[in-house]
Amino acid sequence: MAEPKTNELMEKIVSLCKRRGFIYQSSEIYGGINGFWDYGPLGTELKRNVKYLWWMDMTRMRDDVVGLEATIIMAPEIWRASGHVDTFADMMQTCKSCKKLVRADQVWDILVEQSWVQSLASIADVATQSFDGEALMRWADGKGKRLVPNLALVRNPRVTLSWLSERSKSSKQAPLSAKEFYQYLATEQLAATGLITPCPYCGGELTAPRPFNLMFETWAGPLQSEENKVYLRPETAQAIFVQFKNVLETSYQKVPFGIAQIGKAFRNEITPRNFTFRSREFEQMELEFFIKPDEVIEAIAGSVVKPGESHPGEPQPNWGWEAWHKYWVEERIRFYEGIGLPRTTLVEYWQKPDELAHYARATVDILFKFPFSKRNEKGELMGEELEGIAARSDFDLSQHERFSGKPMGVFDEELRTAWGKLDEAKKKELWQRYYEARLKYLTKTAKSDETPDQIDKAAREDADGLAKGQYIPHVIEPSAGVDRLILALISNAYHEDQMPDAKGNMETRVVMKFHPRVAPVKAGIMPLLKNKPELVKKALEIRDTLRPHMNIFYDDAGAIGRRYRRQDEAGTPFCVTVDFETLEGAKEGPLAGQKDTVTLRYRDDGKQERVKIEDLLSLLMAKIR
């Protein structure tokens, strides 16, 4: 029997998110809307911090990346060129009874989460082949009727059970798998139909899988006609490709360089699930980093360097696509570590050749081990995708060149000069390789009216361009989801530990151990008592000094211990308390006798130290950077 999924940790996280204002269900007072989520006050700050840090890391701290902010609705031709209109689809199955839709590759994952499966798990154990027919009959007549009215076992228990018992008794065949067990329960005309996969929601029969395009459609203009049909962008990347030439011409950049964008993307996911992990509206942080094709590097630098196992270091002129790809994988992992996701929570997954998109030369998915991730045979969490880093060749710019009719290539003086100095054999070799790559691309994407001769001619013209210093840049694409990262940070931060309360009794505390760089609130500012004007005055002064530099929370309500706990749950790394020693002088320690000191309390271990008010800003700034 499949393990019923009772992910307590996830339930606690979801409940904390709502209780503390990280994440709410969208449109909650109207019953919610599936796949859409709103960020509350703490979630908004967390998200802003994450986006800011990504932007700093990817653009402002570098000379070779610039930004873009494009529209969500763009010319629909873009999505034809990118392949989204034809192929951006998931396989979907529909229930013939309740009409609900299920993503074909998720049917079994969803099934094991259902209460009817969990209820069956308590009366049948597939692993040991022991299920009691009588108990199943009783279940079918009682709970089954209520929970899964369309399951064959419920509608026609005798027939279904007879198939099941026959099969499980057969010593010639391998023991039943959990999947087969449920398929038998869903099948009453075995001879006519073969085994049937049950709808996870009502037990009915599912249709065969068929593709379902994930793009949201709407109309630009008053007429809801086919010509006015437009799409909400399913990714931010395409805008970068279509604005590539504009950015190149206005930013004084030269290949290699990148264009970064953060923005909303929309996908009509068939089965949004796992909280915000798979949403229908979400945000992406994408970089398209344009590089010279390897043939161009070889012409200019003499050879192309291959990356080793570790970070290849500072970019070099002789890097080909493999070194650049490795560089971005390592840079992105460094980023995640720098915002508090330990290396042990991440998995670097290299897609297998048969998993790669046809234009991709390599793709690495960075996975995070979420509480709901599947486990391997050893019981270890396997992780779910946070970000994909793809080496996409020159596919995207080439597609837009072909569909728009506008040149997307670049002119490179260095290449033209270097080419002139190559010997004939080298020119021939590089020309041939470039020609073959272009021929492959042009053949794969040929329109029905294009002849092989035309394609060959176009590939030759492209390869001839090398001598003139012309080529279409290749691209490395690190593409991350903001919302998945927020969920990873929240999952990673969630801790429960024991701490003494005001009376010294140990109590369980929930503490969100965010890295101070991402923490929504950096410091809680608290006068010990709110009815002592001198304490309040000092605390407000501190608030006003810190506020322009960091997000702070002024809290004067309730016992100080309670206020600390509230900040622990919000993930605030530091609390600053103004007390009587601030006014009268510290009682002990290195600052004994000095006025204008405060208690600085650390979230993770609850330790406290006395610091001077005048040192507070620089001290905190050093910790939150």
Looking only at Cα atoms, what is the longest distance across the chain? 91
Q: Which is nearer to ligand ATP, 386 or 439 (CB)?
A: 386
Residue by residue, DSSP assigns 276-308 as TTS-SEEEEEEEEEEE--HHHHHHHHSS-BPP-
Contact (CB, 8 A) for 51 and 69: no
Residue 344 beta carbon to ligand ATP: minimum distance, rounded to whole angstroms: 20
Q: Which is nearer to ligand ATP, 81 or 418 (CB)?
A: 81
Q: Which is nearer to ligand ATP, 235 or 462 (CB)?
A: 235
Q: Which is nearer to ligand ATP, 97 or 106 (CB)?
A: 106
Tell which residue, 595, 387, 586, has the closest CA to residue 478. Answer: 387
Sign of CA dihedral 190, 194, 198, 202: negative
d(CA 480, CA 366): 9
Q: Which is nearer to ligand ATP, 217 or 355 (CB)?
A: 355
Q: Which is nearer to ligand ATP, 319 or 368 (CB)?
A: 368
The SS3 of residue 323 is helix
Cis peptide before 307 (omega within 30 of 0): no
CB atoms within 10 A of CB 573: 24
The one-letter code for the residue type at 16 is: L
Residue 284 beta carbon to ligand ATP: minimum distance, rounded to whole angstroms: 5
Query: Measured at CB, which residue is nearest to ligand ATP?
Result: 481
Q: Which is nearer to ligand ATP, 269 or 581 (CB)?
A: 269
DSSP 363: E
Q: Which is nearer to ligand ATP, 337 or 385 (CB)?
A: 385
DSSP 312: -
Residue 479 beta carbon to ligand ATP: minimum distance, rounded to whole angstroms: 4
d(CA 489, CA 484): 9
Q: How would you write 20-85 as a 3-class SS string?
A: CCCEEECCHHHCCCCCCEEECHHHHHHHHHHHHHHHHHHHHCCCCEEECCCCCECCCHHHHHCCHH
Tell me which residues touch ligand ATP (CB under 6 A): 235, 267, 269, 278-279, 282, 284, 385-388, 479-481, 483-484
Residue 531 beta carbon to ligand ATP: minimum distance, rounded to whole angstroms: 48
Residue 414: C-alpha distances to residues 230, 411, 427, 470, 596 (Å): 41, 9, 15, 10, 63
Residue 233 beta carbon to ligand ATP: minimum distance, rounded to whole angstroms: 12
